[in-house]
Structure formats: C-alpha cells, structure tokens
Structure 1
Amino acid sequence: MDASSRIECLTDTRTDILKFIVDWVNNSASDQSILWLHGLAGSGKSTLSTTIANIFREDNLLGAFLFFDRDVTERSDPTVVIRTLAYQLASSDHRIRAAVRAVIEEDLNIWLSPLSRQFRKLIVEPILTITNYFPTIIIILDGLDECGAPADRAALLDVLVKEFASLPSYFRTVVTSRAESDICDAFNFQSHILPHELDIKSHVNYDDILLYIRHHMSLTRNKNRHLQLGPSWPGEEILCQLVEQASGLFVWASTACEFINGYDPVECLEVILRAEATSGAQAALDAVYKTALESIGCWDDESFISDFRNLMGIILVTRQPLSSTAIDAFLHFPENRPCMHVISLLGCVLQQSLRVRVLHPSFADFLMDKERCGRDMWLFNQPTYHRQLAFCCLEQMDRALKRNMCNMTFSGTLTKDKLSEVASYSCLFWIDHICTISDDIAPVLDQMYGFLLQHLLHWFEAMSILNKARDTILQLNKLYVWMTVSILLQILN
C-alpha cells in the first residue's frame, strides 16, 4: 500500500484535531518540535496522519511521510527508517538531494552505521550545509508502535528523543502510535516533545463518528435502491445507537458499516443492534468482531473451519501480504474451492484487493488473544502457522528452484517477474519463518538439510534475480545462529 491509496478523514470530520495540528506547526515560537499523537487501536490515527500529510503536501511543506505496517517487512524494520527518511527528504528538495549524495559518495557504507550516526550524516549535516531559508518542513511517522518489537526500535526511539532536537527550528515532526510502554517511557517528560492523546470520549469525536456512519448508511441506501430502504433509513435514533455502540472508535464504525453493507442490510443492521451491551472501547470492538465472525454461519462445518483457520493463519504470519492465488498455491486449496470462497465471507474484516490482509491490526490482536476472541476456533497461535509456512516455503522452493531456472541466455536480463509470487516469497522469507520455531526442530532440520544440499546455489541465483543477493550471507548467518541455539537447548533439555 502506498500513500496514495490510504484513506483520508471524511470531509467535515476531525476538524478540531486537524486545526490543532496546523496551529502547532505554524507556531514558530514553540520549542516543541515533535508532536506525539497517541491513542487506542482503532481511534483513527492512521487516517488522521494521511489527512495531515495530504494537507501539507498541497502546501509543498511535506518533507517525508513514513507509515509503518507490522504485516510488511519493509515497513516494520527500524534499521531502515533513517535512510528512508533521508531518501524522502532528498526527493523533496534538490539542495538536500545534492548534499545527501555527497555524503553517500564519501561513505558508501553509511547505511551500516548506527542509526544515530546515520541521522547526523544523512539528515542533520546535509540540512545544515544549506544556507538559504527553508519554509517549514513536515515529517510524519505514522504507527511507530508497528515498527518492530520494543527491543528492535530502542535505537530509533533514542534518535527521536536525543537527535531530532538538533534539526533546525523549521522542522516539525508528527509521530502517531498506540501508547506502548517503551514509547511512553521514551517520549514522556521530554521538553521538545508535545504529547497529545486522542480523546475518543469527547462530544466532538461522537459527532464525527455520527457523520461517518450517516455517510456510509447513505452509501448503503444508494447501493441497494431496489430494497426501498427509504430516504432516511435507518433513522436518527438508530444512528445514535450505533454511535453509542462504537464507544469512540472509528474502526468499530468502519467494521460495522462494512458488515451492514452486505447482502441484506436490514438483517445485518439488526444483527449489530442485537449485540450485547459492552462497557469500554476494546470490549465494543471485540463485540463487533465476534458479530462479524458469528454471522458467517458455517461454524458447524468442519471443512469450513479448517479452511478458515488455514487461511487466517497464513494471513497473520506472512512477512508481506499475499494474493489469493499465492495463498491457494501455498495451502493447496482445490480449484473448485479457492480461498476467495472464504475471503468473500469475511469482507468486513479482510481487505480483498491485490493482496489479502486484515483491514485493521486490531482484528489480528483479537484473534491472538484467548480472553478477547473467546473461542478456540478463532484463536491463533502464531508459532504454529510460522512452522506451517516454513514447510510450505521449503516445498515451493524445492519445486521451483533449479539451475538457470529462468532459462536466461548470456544476453538476457534478470527481472523479478521471472519468478512466481510464491517462489519469490519463499526465497525471501523461508529463513524468517524457520527462525521462529522453538520446539520439535528435528523435522525442520531434516527438510532444511535436504533443501540446502540440493538447492543452495539455486537459492543464491533466485536471490540475485530478486535483487537481494547481499542479504544471503546475513540470512544464512541468522539461520546458523538459530540452528546452534536450538540444538544446544535441545541437548540441555
């Protein structure tokens, strides 16, 4: 997903917080150069950050917009943030571009340096070489809590806290995240950071969600004119009841509206309204997810349960989202019952574009918490599915990899499209999945040994085709460390 495909705030909603952000940016007297917007999952942080980015892009003030995504490896790696930030800043201004290029030409291995040195050399020093006056430059980092695990992003937080203050005063940085403990510990009580919690209980937020639901009910009426729903359906009283059920969460409103926009909107609305009353935002979100899953109506069908669990398991653990065709290939869904048969029933919680993924990270959280989802058939243990996908990757590579697998001549051009999506994913991430396995490693070692014995050189060739040849040594070292530790633990136990 690129920035152009991200959803903005609905017109005339979030106006107060948008004005607050714009006023803070324009307040040149403030020494607080970082605004930290934090709130619960589903409170609309990403939609808000996208709207902010587009506002400042229109004014030619946007220097960089990074949005993190735990489902996509490239968007959840803290080690690449600074150089990505430098690239976007360089792309926004030719003077910055020239200064950054000079740094890279002088030190081609700058990307191997600690993040603090990367920040000083690739961002601060190039900026300071430019004497001409800049207008305000806005940097937006959305979803910082999705950028790696707490231990992985510690160095990045350190840069935000200690190094960002060295940027010139015309820089303003907006960071959005959940209030995770490591981020709170780093950001609280810092003089240059302005924390601001998104208040989901405010009357303004209530009114915004009401506008959102009213707008989407209008879309449902227009889509289903033959049902004669009436010009004011479902009525103001029902709209207000839905807003109360949302408990201040835009993701609840979004999920409920998608659910109501099904085959029978009247019945779907009744299902939502019949849901038991809850107290608290998370309980309300869990209730709408349970309603969406229960409404599928196939939970006494063992075949459906198996398909659902295999499908959701692979969606939850993939390092980057896969197409439905690739999922079919990995899981061997039969042609007369492809995974899209299940995906089509989950339209209010799954995104069904070119790649299949959960619509919101909170749904993945729900499925991995027994207390929240409440049913074993909805509970997913990630290591189980990492293990399954590791074996799938080895199987797919065993089928696809061979010498000169792309039938290239000496004059041919190596391009990524020479490899299938399944083969490409398997080559890139098989080691990642294997390294999550912590028990019963003997079957994994057996299959892995056979693969390496027959296909190691073929894998090198494939990684070269994918422009990832430099990653092979790092990946193999990671695998070696995992093998050593796993075998040692097995001996000790």
Structure 2
Amino acid sequence: MKERGDDMSFLRNKLEPSDQLRMDNGWMDGSRETVMSTVDTWLESCDEPNVLWLSGAPGAGKSAIASIIVKKLHDSSSEFDKTYNCAKFFIKRGHTTLDDPRTIWRSIAMGLVDSSLTDRWYRSLKVDVLEVMTQRVSNLYPKDVSIEDQFRDLICRPLNNLFKLTAGPSSSRRVVVVIDALDECNLSDTENQEQWSAFLGTVVRWSTELPKTCKLFLTSRLESAIEEKLKEISRPLVLNTGNDVSDESIRDIELLFKKRFEEKKVEQKQIEELAKYAAGLFIWATTVIEYVNHGDFGDRLEEVLANMSAAGARGGDSDKIGMLYGQILFTVAWERRNHPKELDRLSLVLASVIPGILRRPLPLRVLGILLSPNPEAILWITSPTN
C-alpha cells in the first residue's frame, strides 16, 4: 500500500468531495405528517424498492423534506440514530461543483467514509475505498474514470461488502443516501447530457445491485427524462400542487402563515385565502411572508390579497410565482423611482437575475426595456404573459 500519511486526509484529497451549501430549515413541527410517515415506513421496509423518488412542482417543498430527512437521521435523539446513517448531495444549478453529475458519487463516498469516524461498523467500507484508491496508478482517479466506474468502485462494491460482512438481509442497519434536485444538474452541452444520462443509469443500478437495506432518496421536478428512468424502479411519492393539492398541504400552509403572522392582526379568513391560493406552493407562501414582514405589514398584505383577487384562478404554479415576484420587484423599483442611480443598478442586477427566476431566457427587446427601466416596465417584464 502506498505511503499516504493520514487515511482520511488522503481520501479527502483524492475524492475531492463538493462542499455542500447550507440546508433548508425545513418546516414546523406538526406539518407534512403524511409525507414523513410514508418516508419512515419506506426506510424501515425491506419489501419496497430501495429507491424513493419524491417529485413535485418548483416550490412544493421537496428540498425542505430532503433536509428534514438528513437532519432526522443525524439527530442523536432520533429513533434512527443508532442503526441508520446518511450521506447527502444537494444539487444546485449554477454552482460548478454542485451541478456536475461526475462529482456526486465521489462526494457521497466520502460522506459514507466519514461515518467510520463515529461508527466502527463502517470500517470495512473505508478499507474498501482505501484499497481502490491506493491500487489505482493514475493520480487523477477517480476524476478520470466514468460515472459508472465511480459507482461500481466507490459505492456499489463497498456497500455490498459492508452488508455481506456485518449485516444480513433482516438487519435493522440502514445506509441512506439523499440526493436532492436531480433536475438541476448542468445539461448545457452534449458532454454534460451524456454524463447526466450515465448518472441516471447508475441510479437504476442502485435499485438492482444493492440490498434493500441501502436506501436512495431522490427529489426532482416531474420531468420526462427522469420519469422514464425512475418510474419503474422506485417508490414514487408526489407533492401535488394546484388543483390537485391535498387538504393536508393547505392546512400545513395555513399553519405556516399563522405561526409567522402570530404577532400581527390577520383574520382567519385572510389566512385561509392565502393558503388556498398558495395551492401547495410553499415557496409562494414563504415569499409572501418575507415580503409583508419586511415593510408596511398592513399595506403589503392588502396588496398581495388584492393581486390574488385580480388574478383569480388564472394560470399555473409558475404564473403565481412569477406574478408575486413581479409585484415585489415593482414595489422595490417604485421606492427607488426618485433615485436614478439606484434604479440603474437595480436594472443591471435584474437583467441577470430575472431569467433565472422565470427559468427562461429574455428576448433582446425585453432586455432593452429592462436596462432603461421605469417601475411599470419591470412589472410588465415579470408578468407570466410576456
């Protein structure tokens, strides 16, 4: 075996795991009970598929649920603490090390190896990964091999050996891997698309080559390429929004508004209207809360309610979010209407940010209007009909 000094430092330098961003704070106690009950049952089961795929619209709360699962499995007071362990990867579009499929499995491998520091049960996994790393001649390994080879050498073989050596099929031990936001992987060119397809292929292999005690929890938007790969091999779980939103989701959003507005005089009827209009979109609800709590509360709440009434049931999830962002941007721009330099700086920022918010490029005509703006122009640009 090569001279390498400290094993953990050696592995970290070779694997180069991606630094993860801070996780979502999740939600309040007493909400998402049905979803979490389903996840808990799946974690304990050895009869269901070992892949659970949570899908839903943008803003439905997928990342919050993924964060809560990770925190729960890492909580020393949790019923899962002694026999479950968790590694995570939260994909983030626009972050080079967090939206590249080639970084996912080696980062997760390091997360699993880290478990050996606090739990002797993982020692054999660490030994297997060390053996692979020291036997490879290339100094670039594992960055210079395919995603399929990374999965085989760093995930599949070590995990299979771990359970064969130390735990039978009926063991209470679980290894849980959480990967959030599959749809945010970089697909900007042909090479990235090929890597993405290869990564989805390894997810399918997880379902067939790893024991039921190895759990893979995935989240994504409901996109055709992902659905095609996952629908037959996973336990699907959908966060419905819009017309299909569940009564429980509406109650959870009501609870959120009540908690965050508890020191304000907000009528129960207004809370119900806000929750019903949100239709399961937690991002809409949290954005409203931040907006009205950081200004004249009464005026801003009335503005939101008035816009909801004017919009009615028109449009889908993205339209509601787009209209809300438009209202907020209009307010910010209007407050700066007598400060041309500030408005100019705001327009430059928005020219970069708005395409990301709306998830579509802006035509040159729209960019021209935005770069020489007035507040009404900003509201027009962010309207979902433009």
TM exceeding 0.5: yes
Q: How many residues align?
A: 316
**Post-superposition CA distance 1:60-115 (Å, at most 9, x none):** 32331110111321111111111111111111233211211111001152331111
The residue that corresponds to 2:67 in the other structure is: 50
Determine if the alignment matches structure 1 residue 309 to structure 2 residue 347. Answer: yes
Structure 1 residues 204, 25: CA separation in 2 closer, same or farther (over 3 Å shift)? same
Cα separation, 2, equivalents of 1:366 and 1:118: 35
Secondary structure, aligned partner of 1:138: strand
Alignment of 1:420-435 (within 5 A): none
Cα separation, 2, equivalents of 1:121 and 1:161: 16
Secondary structure, aligned partner of 1:129: helix
The residue that corresponds to 1:115 in the other structure is: 147
Cα separation, 1, equivalents of 2:293 and 2:339: 25
The residue that corresponds to 1:182 in the other structure is: 225
1:132 to 166, 172, 180: 166
Alignment of 1:438-453 (within 5 A): none
User: Aligned letter for 1:70?
Assistant: R
Determine if the alignment matches structure 1 residue 143 to structure 2 residue 170. Answer: no
Secondary structure, aligned partner of 1:74: coil
The residue that corresponds to 1:234 in the other structure is: 266
Structure 1 residues 369, 241: CA separation in 2 closer, same or farther (over 3 Å shift)? farther
Cα separation, 1, equivalents of 2:288 and 2:181: 23
Superposition RMSD on alpha carbons, in Å? 2.4
Secondary structure, aligned partner of 1:116: helix
Determine if the alignment matches structure 1 residue 67 to structure 2 residue 103. Answer: no
**Post-superposition CA distance 1:421-480 (Å, at most 9, x none):** xxxxxxxxxxxxxxxxxxxxxxxxxxxxxxxxxxxxxxxxxxxxxxxxxxxxxxxxxxxx
Secondary structure, aligned partner of 2:261: helix
Question: Does the 8 A contact of 2:89 with 2:179 survive in 1?
Answer: yes
Question: Does the 8 A contact of 2:101 with 2:185 survive in 1?
Answer: yes
The residue that corresponds to 1:99 in the other structure is: 128
The residue that corresponds to 1:202 in the other structure is: 246
The residue that corresponds to 1:88 in the other structure is: 111
Cα separation, 1, equivalents of 2:251 and 2:368: 37
User: Aligned letter for 2:71?
Assistant: N
Question: Does the 8 A contact of 1:38 with 1:45 survive in 2?
Answer: yes
Structure 1 residues 274, 370: CA separation in 2 closer, same or farther (over 3 Å shift)? farther
Structure 1 residues 287, 235: CA separation in 2 closer, same or farther (over 3 Å shift)? same
Cα drift, residue 302 of structure 1: 4.8
Structure 1 residues 262, 366: CA separation in 2 closer, same or farther (over 3 Å shift)? same
Cα separation, 2, equivalents of 1:364 and 1:300: 28
Which deviates more from structure 2 when the two are superposed, residues 165-174 or residues 292-301?
A: 292-301
The residue that corresponds to 1:481 in the other structure is: none
Alignment of 1:310-389 (within 5 A): 310-313=348-351, 364-366=356-358, 368=360, 377=369
Alignment of 1:461-476 (within 5 A): none
Cα separation, 2, equivalents of 1:122 and 1:164: 16
Cα separation, 1, equivalents of 2:359 and 2:369: 10
The residue that corresponds to 1:423 in the other structure is: none
Cα separation, 1, equivalents of 2:218 and 2:337: 41
User: Aligned letter for 2:220?
Assistant: S
The residue that corresponds to 2:379 in the other structure is: none
Which deviates more from structure 2 when the two are superposed, residues 97-106 or residues 58-67?
A: 58-67
The residue that corresponds to 1:283 in the other structure is: 319
Structure 1 residues 365, 263: CA separation in 2 closer, same or farther (over 3 Å shift)? closer
User: Aligned letter for 2:102?
Assistant: T
Question: Does the 8 A contact of 1:367 with 1:378 survive in 2?
Answer: no
Question: Does the 8 A contact of 2:56 with 2:221 survive in 1?
Answer: yes
Question: Does the 8 A contact of 1:246 with 1:285 survive in 2?
Answer: no
Cα separation, 2, equivalents of 1:3 and 1:284: 27
Question: Does the 8 A contact of 1:145 with 1:177 survive in 2?
Answer: yes
Cα separation, 1, equivalents of 2:217 and 2:337: 44
Cα drift, residue 309 of structure 1: 3.0
- Where structure 1 has 5 or more consecutive residues not aligned to the other structure, the ranges are 222-228, 317-362, 380-493
Cα drift, residue 375 of structure 1: 8.6
Alignment of 1:265-276 (within 5 A): 265-275=297-307, 276=310
Cα separation, 2, equivalents of 1:293 and 1:376: 17
> How much identity, in percent, do the aligned residues show?
22
Question: Does the 8 A contact of 2:50 with 2:211 survive in 1?
Answer: no
The residue that corresponds to 2:45 in the other structure is: 27
Structure 1 residues 311, 104: CA separation in 2 closer, same or farther (over 3 Å shift)? same
Cα drift, residue 195 of structure 1: 1.8
The residue that corresponds to 2:27 in the other structure is: 9
Cα separation, 2, equivalents of 1:148 and 1:157: 13
**Post-superposition CA distance 1:234-267 (Å, at most 9, x none):** 1101111111221220000000000010231111
Structure 1 residues 208, 377: CA separation in 2 closer, same or farther (over 3 Å shift)? farther
- Where structure 2 has 5 or more consecutive residues not aligned to the other structure, the ranges are 1-18, 116-121, 372-386
User: Aligned letter for 1:216?
Assistant: R
Question: Does the 8 A contact of 1:78 with 1:153 survive in 2?
Answer: yes
Cα separation, 2, equivalents of 1:5 and 1:124: 26
The residue that corresponds to 1:212 in the other structure is: 256
Structure 1 residues 166, 299: CA separation in 2 closer, same or farther (over 3 Å shift)? farther
Secondary structure, aligned partner of 1:169: coil
Alignment of 1:290-301 (within 5 A): 290-296=326-332, 297=334, 298=336
Cα drift, residue 205 of structure 1: 0.5
Cα drift, residue 183 of structure 1: 1.0
Question: Does the 8 A contact of 1:305 with 1:377 survive in 2?
Answer: no
The residue that corresponds to 1:334 in the other structure is: none
Cα drift, residue 269 of structure 1: 0.7
Cα drift, residue 312 of structure 1: 3.8
- Larger CA Rg, structure 1 vs 2: 1
Secondary structure, aligned partner of 1:153: helix
Secondary structure, aligned partner of 2:40: helix
Cα separation, 2, equivalents of 1:239 and 1:375: 37
Question: Does the 8 A contact of 2:90 with 2:98 survive in 1?
Answer: yes
TM-score (norm 2): 0.76
Cα drift, residue 137 of structure 1: 1.1
TM-score (norm 1): 0.60
Determine if the alignment matches structure 1 residue 37 to structure 2 residue 81. Answer: no
Cα separation, 1, equivalents of 2:22 and 2:358: 28
1:79 to 79, 90, 102: 102
